[in-house]
Each structure stands twice: as structure tokens, then as C-alpha cells.
Amino acid sequence: MKKVAIVGYAQHPILENAGALNEVELIMPVVHQLFDELGISQNNIDFTCSGSCDYLQGAAFAFVEGLSAIQTNPPIKESHVEMDAAWAMYESMLKIQMGDADTALIYGFGKSSPGRLDSIISLQMDPYYISPLWPDRVSLAAIQARVLLEKNIITPEQMITAVIEARTNSKNNKNALVTELVDKESYLASEKISSPLNEFDCPPISDGSSAMIIASEEKAYDFTDQPIFIEGIDHRIESSNIGSRDLSKPTGIMASIEQLKLEKTKFDVAELHTQFSHEVPYLQSVLNLSDVPTNLSGGPLVGNVMMCAGLDAIGKTYESLKSNDLTNGLAHASSGPCLQHNMLVHLEKKS
Amino acid sequence: MSEEEKKDYAESPINLEYHYTAGSATTRFLNQVKEGKIVGQSCPKCSAVYVPPRGSCPRCGVATNIEVPLTDKGCIESFTIVHIPIPGNPIVPPYVCAMIRLDGANISFLHLIQGIDVEEIRIGMRIQAVWKPKDEWTHSLENIKWFTPIDEPDVDVATLRFQES
């Protein structure tokens, strides 16, 4: 396996409603910021890959328009995933592994404000039996939260802690959307949206974009003195039939842990794509992170740009390792209802 | 169940509503169109002029932040004669849809051609906008009813190709 490293990451400030700014106008600033920081241009990029969802924009092939944010002359090699941009990074990794590229630009973008996210997300479900019922994203998450609570895998106190910590940690993240602190009393006084979840347990509707550059080991040092290496990356998907899953068993994640041999790795920091509060203690326990600083950026509970938040978890882990005296970081990205599809990324700073 | 009642499919209508955003660059353009002006935007790197502007130069990947006032005259870059009526469309076939290249612009946009026998329409023909009455103007290129030929020599469209500066 070729060694591949992250050499740069930029994130647009997360907005509740980007208003008149369209997707292209959200992407351009982060890509330019990244290029300027590294002193490079699109000419230094072998492969470009984006992650977005046309349903968020409400237009077929809307992702193609996103390319208008990128210099495409002379012609570029590019691709797109109709997924979180974390998977665009995965595709870029493969491209580098195959020897087709040494450097890759990844960007993700999403505006949740123009449509009704609850309706849009329900369209990712099985189109015959589940989507026609229009299950909203909060209710689906609540089903898993209920299972985890009833099996005593997590506790209501852990959910409250996850919310309070996310708000507290938002001060570490200059791009966070939600920065107001919350205390236990106001949490408990909040009305349920879909029991057991209240508004504090759910991520905010968010607009934004992010970009990242990765490079093979040979090229990485051309960009930066301190590349952060992708030591391992693995993703697994579980059944789309939610009734056939045991929502308290993280089958896919366990397979990734085994594949990446993470059982004994001591992580210094972790960023998890946990959109709902109950997912934080659940994944902390699954990933053995009880003593590991987790979601120091606040995570998706303080800003959750669809199709970006997974890439952001990787980007925030990269930033933590880069700017602190830390060695091992774990990033997690997810997709689908009830943590159906999960990616684990083991990042390492070489001393 | 009778034979007629059997269905081998299920109906599952999907209706999603969006607040569509034109983007800040296109918003600037549409605000001018409402005043009867066509203002393209130019790329600070390659100088290409876009009308209607979408906010970026897709060749260079930079914001088109230079406003370029344009005339409502141009030429036909390409066209098609529509013979098939479209339900709900008030225009009676045959009519002409054309790619309009305004003078000074580097891209064309789609609009109607009227005021000429469809058989006489040709690529390179000079045309000018026919505007609706001012009190009907909105934030839309529909403020222009159609384009109509003007008495000027044809343009060789090969000369319109973008030249690298």
C-alpha cells in the first residue's frame, strides 16, 4: 500500500441559511483558501473528487454545476460521489493507490436550508417499503436511541453530557454554527421532537462547504512539512432494510476495527460523525474511546453540513494532530439511517 | 379482485418544495434585467464575459466580479425550428429557439426569434431584443419578448470562438 497523507483542509463557516449564496459561491472560497495556504493551484492537482446530494439542491445533476467553482481549463480528471465527501476522499485514496494520481482535491458542499431536510433524507430509504412512509431523520434516529437506552447500552445522562460537551467544545471551532451553552435544566425542560430526542439532541440545519487535499508520500512533503498520514481507512455498510438490523449491534464498525487492527491502538483524539446525541456515547463505547478526547470541534451537534460533516470529522482530526503534540487520531464518517454506513479513518502524525 | 383492479406497481408520489437561490452573482444580474439592462460579468483571469452570469468562470474557477454592461444586440450562434406544439405553451409552431450571442459576450443563451419567416433564419444573422412594456418587467430574461433580425451584415460565427488571452 502506498502511503497517503492529508496536507490541507479548509472549512467554510457553517451557516444556518447561506441565503443568496449558491453552492458554487460556497465552494470557491474554501478551495481558494486551501490553495492560497499551500501556495498551489488546480494545476498541482491530479484528481478532483466532490461529495454532494442533488436532492438537497432539488435539481438533477446539480453536482455538475459545483464544478464551476473549480478551474477546469486545461481539462481535469474529476469524479463525484452522491455521498458525504468523506467517501470522495476514499475514492481519491483509491485513485492514488492505483497510481492514477499523486495528489487529490476533495470538496463537499450542502445547503439544507432551501428544502425540508426531513423529507429529503427519507428518500434515501428503500423506495418500495419505507420511503413511501416518509420517515423523518429524527424519528429514525430516535428508534436507535430508544433501543440503546432500553438495552442500557447508553444512559440518558450520557446523552445530556454529549449535548453539554458539544456546546462547550464549540468554542474550539471558529466555524461552528451553534455556540450557545446549554445546561441540564434547559435540556430537561425541552420538548421532545421524537421521543427520546429533543431539539438539543439533534443537529442544526446547516449550510456550508469544506475542502481537503491529500497526496502520496512522495508528493506530500512538497506541500507541507507536516503531512498527517492516513494509516488506515475502511468503510462498511449494513442492510438498507432497517427491520433486519439489530440497531444495538455495530456489525459494520466492528468489521472495520478488525480490518484496521485498531483494537490496541491508543488514540489521542477522535472526531465522530455523530449527528444525534445518543450516537456519541454509543460510538465512544464501540470504539473504546472512553478516555479519548472526542469531538473537540463540537462535532455535528454544533454544525452539520450535509455531505460535508463526515469529511469535516476527518479534517478536524487532521487539524488536532497538526496543531498539537498528538500522534494518533481516529475519524469517523457515517451515512444512512441509524449509522447504517460507517467509515473509520486512522490518522497518524510521524515524529 | 377483478382483472382490472390488479396492479403490478405501487404509486408513491414525491413532492418536495425548495426555496431556490439564484446565487449572489445571478441576483446582481437579475436586478439589472428588471431595469431593462443586460450586465454580464467578466472573469478577472481570462477576461471571458458571461451572460447570464452564474457567479464563477468555469474555466478558471474564480468569481466573475467585474460587471460588464452589454447591448441587447447580437447574433444567432445556433438555432432550431420547433414544429411540435408543447401542451400549455402559447407559442404556435413553427417557431424558432436560438442560441443568442450578445455583442461582447463569450457565451450564448437560449431565446426566441420572431419577426422573420422561419425558412430565412441562419447562423450568424444579426438580431436585437424586443422588450416587453416597461411596466411588465420582472427579475427575468422574459422581459425580452424575443429577438428579431436587424439590417446588419451577418457575422462569421467562427470569429466568435474564445481566444486565449
DSSP B99-115: EEEETT-SS-EEEEE-S
Q: Does B30 touch chain A (CB under 8 A)?
A: no
User: Nearest chain A Cα to B11, which residue?
Assistant: A132
Distance from the Cα of B9 to chain A's closest Cα (Å) equals: 10
Nearest C-alpha in B relative to A122: B14
How far off is chain B from A205, nearest CA to CA, in Å? 14
Q: Is A57 at the interface with chain B, CB within 8 A?
A: yes
CA dist., res. A99 & res. A139, Å (int): 44
Of B22, B60, B62, Cβ closest to residue A22? B22
CB atoms B58 and A67 under 8 Å: yes
**Element holding A63 (H helix, E strand):** helix A62-66
Q: How far is B144 from chain A (nearest CA, A)?
A: 24
The pLDDT value given to residue B165: 57
Q: How far apart (Å, rounded) are the C-alpha atoms in residues A335 and A275?
A: 10
Q: What ipTM was estimated for this complex?
A: 0.85
**Are the C-beta atoms of A270 and A319 separated by less than 8 Å?**
no
pLDDT at residue B3 in the model: 63
Q: At residue A256, what are phi and psi to the nearest 5 degrees?
A: -65, -40
Helix (H) or strand (E) holding A120: helix A117-122
- Between B7 and B49, the more confident residue is B49
Q: What is the pTM of this model?
A: 0.93
The pLDDT of residue B5:
76
Cβ-based neighbours of A291, under 8 Å, separated by 6 or more: none
The domain over range A4-116+205-223 is classified in CATH as 3.40.50.300:
no
Give, for B49, the enclosing helix (H) or strand (E). Answer: strand B49-50
CA distance B117 to chain A (A): 36
Measured CA to CA, the distance from residue B110 to residue B75 in angstroms comes to 12
B159: contact with A, CB 8 A cutoff: no
pLDDT tens per residue across span A185-231: 999 999 999 999 999 999 999 999 999 999 999 999 999 999 999 99
Question: Nearest residue on chain A to B28, judged by CA atoms?
Answer: A20
CA B38/CA B70 separation, integer angstroms = 6
Between chains, do A68 and B56 touch, taking CB under 8 Å as contact? yes
Break chain A into its structural domains and give their ranges.
4-116+205-223
C-alpha cell at A275: 449527528
Q: How far is residue B147's CA from residue B115's CA, in Å, rounded to a whole number?
A: 8
Domains annotated on chain B, with CATH: 21-70 (no CATH), 71-160 (2.40.50)
For A269-326, write each residue's pLDDT tens digit: 999 999 999 999 999 999 999 999 999 999 999 999 999 999 999 999 999 999 999 9
Buried b or exposed e, range A79-103, using 16+ CB within 10 angstroms: ebbebbbbbbbbbbbbbbeeeebbb
Q: Is A42 on the interface with B (CB under 8 A)?
A: yes
| Mean per-residue pLDDT, A128-139 | 92
Q: How far apart are CA A337 and CA A4, in angstroms?
A: 30
Per-residue pLDDT band for B162 (boundaries 50, 70, 90) equals: confident
